[in-house]
Amino acid sequence: MAYEMYQEQILDHYKHPRNRGEMPDADLQARDYNPLCGDDLTIYLKTDEKGTITDVKFTGQGCAISQSSASMLTMMLKGKNISEAKGIDPDRIVKMLGIPLSAVRLKCALLSLQVLKKALFSKELSQAETMKE
């Protein structure tokens, strides 16, 4: 299984991550952590007034699967609407990667989606929290 996992595409994204870097003026951002293996990921998003994602970046460290998944996901996001991005489901990520994944590695693969969702819903969360107060 392992060798099928490390396909050229995956390795390419791992070695040459797209959209890697910080974004100090991000509109939305979130971080999460996979306690089992130490993968650590932050995603930053810039959006315009129509809710279109205009820029996206990520930082963090982890295995080839979690990092290439982040790289590929961020590529997919630019130009998408927030509500569209909210609809991305795990299956989509698995298809995007196109490799066999065990249960443990699935967590690595889905960390990027998990962080993205956290970022996308962070505004509503903080709004909801403000309203509560």
Partner 1 sequence: MERTKPSLDVAKIKKDFPIMERKIHGKPLCYLDSAATSQKPRQVIEAVSEFYSNYNANVHRAIYELGEDATRGYEGAREKIAHFINARSSSEIVFTRGTTESINIVAYGWGIKGKLGKGDEIVSTVMEHHSNHIPWFFVQDYKGVKLSWIDIDDEGYLKMEDLDRLVTERTKMVAVTQCSNVLGTINPIKEIAKKAHEVNALCLVDAAQSVPHFPVDVQNLDCDLLAFSGHKMLGPTGIGVLYGKEKVLEEMEPMLGGGEMIREVHLGRATWNDVPWKFEGGTPDPAGAVGLGAAIDYLSSLGMQNVRKHEIELNAYGLEMLGKIKGIRILGPMDPKKRGGLIAFTIPEAHPHDIAAILDAEGIAIRSGHNCAQPLMERCGIPATARASFYVYNSPEDIDRLIKGLKKVQEVFA
Residues near partner 1 (CB under 8 A): 1-3, 5-6, 11, 15, 33, 35-40, 61-65, 102-105, 108
CB of 15 to partner 1, least distance (A): 8
CB of 38 to partner 1, least distance (A): 4
Cα-only R_g, the chain:
15
Q: Calculate the alpha carbon distances from 36 to 39, 51, 68, 75, 117 in Å.
A: 8, 34, 18, 27, 20
Q: Are 53 and 35 in contact (CB under 8 A)?
A: no
Give whichever of 65 and 93 is closer to partner 1, judged by the CB atom: 65
Q: Are 23 and 57 in contact (CB under 8 A)?
A: yes
Give whichever of 57 and 105 is closer to partner 1, judged by the CB atom: 105
Half-sphere exposure of 70 (CA within 13 A, CB side): 33
CB of 11 to partner 1, least distance (A): 7
CB of 126 to partner 1, least distance (A): 20
Give whichever of 11 and 128 is closer to partner 1, judged by the CB atom: 11
Give whichever of 3 and 132 is closer to partner 1, judged by the CB atom: 3
State phi, psi for 61 to the nearest 5 degrees.
Answer: -145, 155
